[in-house]
A and B are shown apart, each in its own frame.
Chain A
Amino acid sequence: MYAYDEIDRTLVNERVSEFRDQVKRRLSGELTEDEFKILRLQNGVYLQLHAYMFRVAIPYGTLATNQLRALAHVARKYDRGYGHFTTRQNIQFNWIKLAELPDALADLAKVGIHAMQTSGNNMRNVTSDQWAGVAPGEIEDPRIWSELIRQHTTLHPEFSFLPRKFKIAITASDHDRAAIKIHDIGLRLIRNEKGETGFEVLVGGGLGRTPFIAKTIKHFVHGRDILSYIEAILRVYNQYGRRDNIYKARIKILVHELGIEKFSREVEEEWQHIRNSSLQIDDEVIEDIRSRFTYPAYEKLPHMPDELRQAAADRDFEAWRKNSVAPHKVQGYSIVTISLKPTGGPPGDATAEQMDALADLADKYSFGEIRVGHEQNLALPHVAKRDLPALWKTLDKLGLATPNVNLITDIIACPGLDYCSLANARSIPIAQELTRRFANHELANLIGRLHINISGCINACGHHHVGHIGILGVEKNGEEVYQITIGGRADESAALGNLIGPGVKFDEVADVIEDIVEAYLALRERPEELFIDTVKRLGVEPFKERVYATR
């Protein structure tokens, strides 16, 4: 966990007071909606179909149990008893009243949570690997650097009115769980030949109506220079970004139009002006941040405790363990992913009761810490292996032990037309139907790792472009129509999926996905060949033929 200091607490509390006054002036009519809109957006408040939506930041996906309980409290007191975890380590509440928002923010501020920069054309929540600090083989905890960037960019005047929103993600592992290649800036923590810590810097990734995979702009930037390098990128973007056209305003368009070489030269030139300035980071600054991250006092535990050996006879436990439990850097411990994808449930939703119960479980089994991943699941990062059977039993009672992590029903979906004012089509009912179709665990296991991503409009909040199977809902002649892509991925080999053919109607989507899966099972060379690898080997055609042969 990271311990915020007095500066952070003051900042968050001052923001609450400021927003309380702004809301008061809005409700009295002193501020018009035109004047107020930018202010509410700077505090994570959108207007959606049914009500205001309130988005709260969970920096680098790390939550303490008192913070998760505060989120449960907000869900219960100010909303409808649940929250929705997003693809960028945020949580959204769908039914919040503007008049009560300052009180909700004040309650969250007591535990150091806020909604600053969760919307608007500024630097958004800096995201990271949900396994940060516990993943085996990690260079070092990427949250230290996430926190450095968070501190530097929060309310920074130069980054508060960018041409468009700006997202940064950081990973420190070979396997990218933070989807850095679909971010405006992606940072991969590495070491150079001298053993110095630095970053491979990628730029210009993003999805939406014009998707791009980020390109490497610099293979190594020393850690001490990372703020100045990021600032150089942002200065070039601030100067040349297309403020005249919202559809061309993201940095990905600028990088594409200039070309990575020219963009890189512009950044390099800017960087030379500011590189040796106060933006150069002293070791003490990093050490201070590092010292504010506390890590558990792990026990010396056996690799295979008796409790785990005995529980292995339970098929249901084993099914869950195989999908939900991952190796930890410390012997005797595990990382446990909590699936928020129950059969027939909306992906990423958690009730206040579940949040409270998870907080209790985290206190009991995970040193009081919870993580939030971009796949819309949660994780307990420090669970002793001996505790896994007991944890599983409780999770199962709470409806939080669906054994489907990384399987076909572990679906990423945006809120879609059920909630979102931008959406053209529904996402959640599609996801729900697919979780019912593939509810049989033996079948899901037979299929193996397969990521389905669903978006209800071209803005791509469900990251459909990078789903192994991507589903995009559009509206055509007043009807919901869904375009299907295959072959996308969001990891270190990130790629955009390819369209298989004409869109299909709402009622046909699940049938089409079943056809694609059946084709894959027939075409794969061996059971270990993942769906994504079969698509890579064979291309779209055999799947297209299967889907459209009878349609």
Chain B
Amino acid sequence: MTSPLEQKKIKIAGPSVVTANRTWDGIVVYRTAAKGWSADLSEAAIVRSSDDAKALLAESVADDVGAIGPYIAPVQVGEDGKIEPGNLREQIRCTGVTIGQPVQV
């Protein structure tokens, strides 16, 4: 598998986070500033430059046991500092399916 760092030139257009899936259970997680992973988007480390994004992704890729498939995802940061997913795919990963599930979770 090609490393995410080699896949393409990393260039971000706005605030971004690194997201992945936790290895042992697969849930969606975000890279934190404390070099860990959190299931809570509000705890994600925000990067605003391509160099910072590349550095955050590099340390995330290095943590192969903690989470898999890390990549950079866009977010929106409100005036109050609240972080929201930057597109529909990330919205669904963050808040769950847009349909009623057959069984209430």
A residues engaging B (CB < 8 A)? 26-29, 32-34, 37, 47, 49-52, 80-82, 95-99, 344-346, 349-352, 417-419, 426, 428-429, 432, 478, 480
The binding surface of chain A is classed by DSSP as mixed
Residues of A within 8 A of B23 (CB): 26-27, 33, 98
The distance from the CB of B69 to the nearest CB of chain A, in whole angstroms, is 6
- Chain B 53-91 interface residues, beta-carbon cutoff 8 Å to A: 64-65, 68-69, 87-89
Q: B34 interface residue, CB < 8 Å from A?
A: no
Using known A-B contacts A51-B26, A52-B26, A97-B26, determine if residue A82 contacts B102 with beta carbons closer than 8 Å.
yes
User: Assuming A29-B64, A29-B65, A417-B88, is B99 touching A346 (CB within 8 A)?
Assistant: yes
A197 CA to B99 CA, complexed, in Å: 48
A417 to B85, CA, bound (A): 15
Instruction: Give the residue of A33, A349, A419 whose beta carbon is less than 8 angstroms from that of B64.
Output: A33
> What is the number of residues of chain B that contact chain A, defined by CB distance less than 8 Å?
26
User: Closest 9 CB pairs between A and B?
Assistant: A81-B103, A51-B26, A52-B26, A97-B25, A418-B97, A29-B65, A82-B102, A33-B68, A99-B24
Given A81-B103, A351-B103: A34 in contact with B24 (beta carbons within 8 A): no
12 example contacts (A-B, Cβ-Cβ < 8 A) are as follows A47-B26, A49-B92, A49-B93, A81-B103, A82-B101, A96-B26, A98-B23, A98-B24, A98-B25, A99-B25, A344-B100, A350-B102
Given B1, B68, B88, B99, which contacts A428 in the complex, CB threshold below 8 Å? B99
User: Which residues of the other chain, B, contact A50 by a CB distance below 8 angstroms?
Assistant: 26-28, 93, 96-97
A97 touches B24 (CB 8 A): yes
Chain B residue nearest to A349 in the complex (CB): B102
In the assembled complex, the Cα of A10 lies from the Cα of B28 at a distance in Å of 36
Set of chain B residues within 8 Å of A350, measured between Cβ atoms:
102
Known contacts A51-B27, A80-B101; 5 additional CB pairs below 8 A are: A33-B1, A50-B96, A52-B25, A52-B26, A98-B25
A-B contact count (CB 8 A): 81
Assess whether B26 is in contact with A27, with CB atoms less than 8 Å apart: no
Enumerate chain B residues within 8 angstroms of A432, measured Cβ to Cβ.
99
List residues of chain A with CB within 8 A of the CB of B101: 80, 82
A75 CB to nearest B CB, Å: 8
By a CB distance below 8 angstroms, the chain B residues around A52 are 21, 25-26
A residues near B69, Cβ cutoff 8 Å = 33, 47
Contacts A47-B69, A80-B105, A98-B26 hold; do A478 and B87 have CB atoms under 8 A apart? yes
User: Which residues on B sit within 8 Å (CB–CB) of A351?
Assistant: 102-103
Please name all residues of chain A whose beta carbon is closer than 8 Å to the beta carbon of B7 when the two chains form the complex: none
The closest CB in chain A to the CB of B3 belongs to A34
Asked if A419 contacts B97 (CB within 8 A), the reply is yes
**B28 contacts A80, C-beta separation under 8 Å:** no
Min CB gap A424→B, angstroms: 8
Q: Which of A32, A37, A80, A417 contacts B92 (CB 8 A)?
A: A417
Instruction: Report B-chain residues with C-beta under 8 Å of the C-beta of A99.
Output: 24-25
List the A residue with the shortest CB-CB distance to B90. Answer: A49
Given A51-B26, A98-B26, A480-B88, A418–B102 Cβ distance below 8 Å? no
Would you call A34 and B89 a contact (CB within 8 A)?
no
With CB as the reference atom, state the residue of chain A lying closest to B96.
Answer: A50
**A26 vs B105: C-alpha distance when bound (angstroms):** 28
Cα of A103 to Cα of B51 in the assembled complex, Å: 43
User: What's the least CB distance linking B101 to chain A, in Å?
Assistant: 7
Which residues of chain B are within 8 angstroms of A428 by Cβ–Cβ distance?
A: 97, 99
Q: How far is A30 from B102 in the complex, measured between Cα atoms in Å?
A: 38
Return A419 CB to nearest CB of chain B, in Å: 7
Min CB distance, A458 to chain B, in Å?
A: 16
Selected from B21, B96, B98, B103, the residue in CB contact (under 8 A) with A47 is B21
Beta-carbon contact of B26 and A80 below 8 Å? no
> How distant is the Cα of A300 from the Cα of B15 in the complex, in angstroms?
73
Chain B: which residue is nearest A45 at the CB level? B26
Cβ–Cβ < 8 Å partners of B92 in chain A: 49, 417-418
The distance from the CB of A408 to the nearest CB of chain B, in whole angstroms, is: 20
Q: Report Cα–Cα, A29/B66, bound state, in Å.
A: 9
CA distance A439 to B26 in the complex (A): 37
Please name the residue on chain B nearest to A95 by beta carbon.
B26
Q: What's the Cα separation between A429 and B102 when bound, in Å? A: 13
- Bound-complex Cα distance A99 to B25 (A): 6
Distance of A417 Cα from B31 Cα, bound (Å): 23
Assess whether B68 is in contact with A47, with CB atoms less than 8 Å apart: yes
Which residues of A are found within 8 Å of B27, using beta-carbon distances? 50-51
A95, B100: Cα distance in complex, Å: 15
- In this complex, the member of A29, A50, A51, A350 whose beta carbon has the largest number of chain B beta carbons within 10 angstroms is A50
- Closest-by-CB residue of A relative to B89 is A417
Q: Looking at the assembled complex, report how far the CB atom of B84 sits from the nearest CB atom of chain A, in whole angstroms.
A: 14
Is there contact, CB below 8 Å, between A34 and B1?
Answer: yes
Check A429–B98 contact: CB distance below 8 A.
Answer: yes
In-complex Cβ contact of A80 among B98, B99, B103 (8 A): B103
List of B residues within 8 angstroms of A33 by Cβ? 1, 23, 64, 68-69
Chain B neighbourhood of A96, CB < 8 A = 26
B4 to chain A, nearest CB (A): 11
Nearest chain-A residue to B66 (Cβ)? Answer: A29
Task: Check if A81 sits within 8 Å of B102, measured CB to CB.
Answer: yes
Closest to A23 in B: B24
Q: How far is the CA of A29 from the CA of B65 in the complex (A)?
A: 5
Instruction: Give min CB distance, B83 to chain A, whole Å.
Output: 18
Complex Cα–Cα for A29 and B88 (A): 33
Q: How far is the CA of A418 from the CA of B98 in the complex (A)?
A: 6
How far, in angstroms, from A285 to B80 measured CA to CA in the complex? 72
Would A27 and B24 count as touching, CB distance under 8 A?
A: yes
